[in-house]
A and B are shown apart, each in its own frame.
Chain A
Amino acid sequence: MSDPARPARSSPPVARVAATIVALVVGLSGTGHTAVLAATYPASDYSNVTAFDTCDGTPDTISHSLEALAQSGLGYLGYTSGEYATTGFTRARVLSRASTDQAIYVHSHGDQYFDPYPKQVQGFREDGGDCSQAIIYATDLAAVRPATVHLVLMSTCHLAEAARTSGQPTMAAAYGIDRVKYTDPHAPDDGARFFLGYEGLAWTADMLHFEQRFWGYVTTGHLLGDAYTLARASAAMSGTTVPDWFGTYDYSGAPGSSLPCTRCV
């Protein structure tokens, strides 16, 4: 593929080493390298804190932890990510930013909601700071998202599933990502695109264990497919939480040609 965000297998070794050094030095400074890599690749990191705290009545720190992990990961990859929770995570903001975002992370409630009954459409709930929590549907996002969405991570229940109502877009499809796994590095693939989500009910403690490892592998230079596989094999999770992925296995996750990928070609 000609997309510059694919792992640059043929790029000069010097360029790869330079990119690695920049990522390592800036990363170790604790400031993130997004300041060095200009704000060319916008992204959004949303976490529905209120739903898992005030609304269901239980205190919650997992939503904050997941949001922080995603923020660090997106920054490492080279995205300039806005971080939104409570009143900052609204349907209006998601749809507004969706027109330019090249990566998105959402931790919230997700499902195939009736819109209206009996039609079911995949979606997730905004936070909004209260418990009314409007739904952002896949159909809403499909209408506004740009062509260049690279990375979509849905830390919710149900959004890696096939559509229950024929003809309705999945959340992956809403972002232009085939619900297909492209694993052959020598065959045509989905380009610089990767979707991560969960099938069925996902439990937050399991999600934290899995995503902690997933980001751990991503930010130590593993390709996204490898990061998924290694995280799946290493995370202490109950058997009921099942993550899944679609897109290009060999994609690094980086939006541009300056790859922080120290373990790929």
Chain B
Amino acid sequence: MYHTMNLSRIDLRITAAGMAIAVAAGLLCVDLGERPATLSLAHAALAVPVARGATVSAAAIELAGRFGLAGTPGAPVRTADQVTGEFLDTVDFRRADGRLAAEVVRAVDGRLVRLVDLTDPPRGPETPVDAARAPTAARRLLGASGLAAPASPPVTTWDAGMDAWCVRWVRTIDGVPAPTDGLVTWVRPSGRLKALSDIRSPLAAAPAEPVTAGAATLAVRAYLRRLHLDRMADLVVDAPRLAWVLPNAFVDPAAGSGPSTLRLAWTITLGYVPPGWSDRHAVEVDVDAATGALIGGTETA
């Protein structure tokens, strides 16, 4: 018996057959601690076993009560994260008019991954929260959710799109940052919670003997020569810095887009002026600390 079995679709080019295969693959992985081979564009909802669903629902309702969230909870739905492939259980809360009010997301081990309040409550008489007060408010909200904020100071910025203060603790593993992961709390100016997110991508094992920073620089220099980037005007190659990164197809377009796992890497930032451009272009290249291979990167738009 299952709580729900509904299919949603995001990519029109994923055929019904493809979806069926993806869902079947996902079902085989449910509760086995495995991840599907590739679901990068799919958002297939899977069944949540009844016993697990009851637990997920109860936890979501209890948490919603703690934060005074509005809405009626729906049945939990299990999906695979589009990037990491990790299975997540989501409970949506709906208002009386049917609109979404809140979303509570937990990992299959019960860890709180995300809590989002989609309502727009009127501002009360509370003392407005400013940038200086936002971290304290974030710690209070995280405490109420059961998540522990790190002792280190967060980075606080105003997030206009969320209409809230974004208080961010970048995840670190053995002192090395994972810039795309972290514990993020969006605090409304009233002090109420807008959203919190605890992104903890799966980790590959750290290498016993990482390649050296010098070897990483040599690998990137070879890449620059191969692509003739070493001829670019005003080329600057920054010093390597260790980071946990999600591999991608930036360096190797043939690389797959399957589920990603954080890998320890040396990240090297490049700056140069392409021919005919007046502005500098920034690029980051990631060198796997275990193998010395280039495993991804990014650039500014």
Contacts and interface: CB of A to CB of B under 8 A. Distances in A.
A183 B16 CA distance: 36
The number of chain B residues touching the other chain, given as a range, is 35 or more
A222 B100 contact: yes
Contact of B10 (A60, A216, A223): A216
B82 A58 contact: no
A248 to B, nearest CB: 13
B274 A131 contact: yes
B295 to A, nearest CB: 12
B298 A203 contact: yes
B229 A57 contact: yes
A228 interface: yes
Most buried by B among A59, A185, A206, A239: A239
B273 to A, nearest CB: 10
A207 B83 CA distance: 13
B116 A229 contact: yes
A209 B83 CA distance: 8
A55 B283 CA distance: 13
Nearest to A203: B298
A108 B11 CA distance: 22
A22 interface: no
Contacts of B98: 264-265
A107 interface: yes
B179 A238 contact: yes
Given A107-B301, A233-B116, A263 B100 contact: yes
A214 to B, nearest CB: 10
A221 B162 CA distance: 20
A76 B10 CA distance: 8
A75 B120 CA distance: 30
Interface in A232-254: 232-234, 236-239, 242-245, 250
Contacts of B18: 30
B248 interface: yes
A31 interface: yes
B65 interface: no
The 8 closest A-B pairs by CB, nearest first: A205-B298, A30-B15, A236-B180, A220-B8, A219-B10, A244-B161, A233-B195, A265-B98
Interface of B: 7-16, 18-19, 40-41, 43, 82-84, 92, 97-100, 103, 105, 114, 116, 118, 120, 155, 157, 159-163, 166, 168, 170, 179-181, 184, 186, 194-197, 199, 201, 227-229, 232, 246, 248-253, 257, 274-277, 279, 281-284, 296-301
Interface of A: 9, 24, 27-32, 52, 55-62, 65, 68-69, 72-73, 75-76, 107-111, 131-132, 155-157, 181, 183-185, 198-199, 201-209, 212-213, 215-216, 219-223, 226, 228-230, 232-234, 236-239, 242-245, 250, 263-265
